[in-house]
């Protein structure tokens, strides 16, 4: 997916999620926050949008947000865990 045309990812701190709407579908990364630790619990992209890199964009955005907030990250979601393994620049965020 061309990131130049990628819709803006939104953060809903109250519902503890990052989300974006693409072609009327909602893509989401859910987390919980406790004691400055962001636990990523779920990354969801509808099948109709699969293979476009949306989960990667959401995960990267969430990790950059966590870094800016000086939070540690616990990837309970298997997608987020693999993403961090593949992107060593985020290893320092792990709790």
pTM greater than the 0.75 cutoff? yes
Q: What is the pLDDT of residues 61-90, one digit of tens each?
A: 999 999 999 999 999 999 999 999 999 999
The pair of structure tokens assigned to 45 is: 């992209």
Going from N- to C-terminal start, the domains of the chain cover 1-52+71-84
Strand, coil or helix: what is 47?
helix
Q: How many CB atoms lie within 10 A of CB 52?
A: 16
pLDDT for the residue 7: 82
Strand, coil or helix: what is 8?
coil
CA angle 46, 49, 51 (to 5 degrees): 115
Let me know if domain 1-52+71-84 sits in CATH 3.40.630.30.
Answer: yes
8, 53, 75 from 3: Cα distances, Å? 10, 9, 24
Helix (H) / strand (E) containing 36: none
Specify the range with the lowest mean pLDDT, choosing from 3-7, 40-44, 53-57, 91-95: 3-7
Strands 10-12 and 37-44: unpaired
């Amino acid at each position: 997916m061309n990131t130049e045309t990628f819709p803006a990812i939104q953060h809903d701190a109250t519902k503890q999620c990052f989300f974006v709407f693409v072609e009327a579908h909602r893509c989401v990364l859910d987390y919980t926050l406790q004691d400055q630790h962001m636990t990523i619990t779920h990354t969801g992209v509808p099948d109709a949008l699969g293979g476009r890199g949306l989960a990667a964009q959401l995960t990267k955005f969430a990790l950059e947000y966590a870094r800016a907030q000086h939070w540690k990250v616990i990837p309970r979601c298997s997608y987020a865990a693999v993403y961090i393994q593949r992107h060593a620049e985020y290893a320092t965020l792990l709790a």
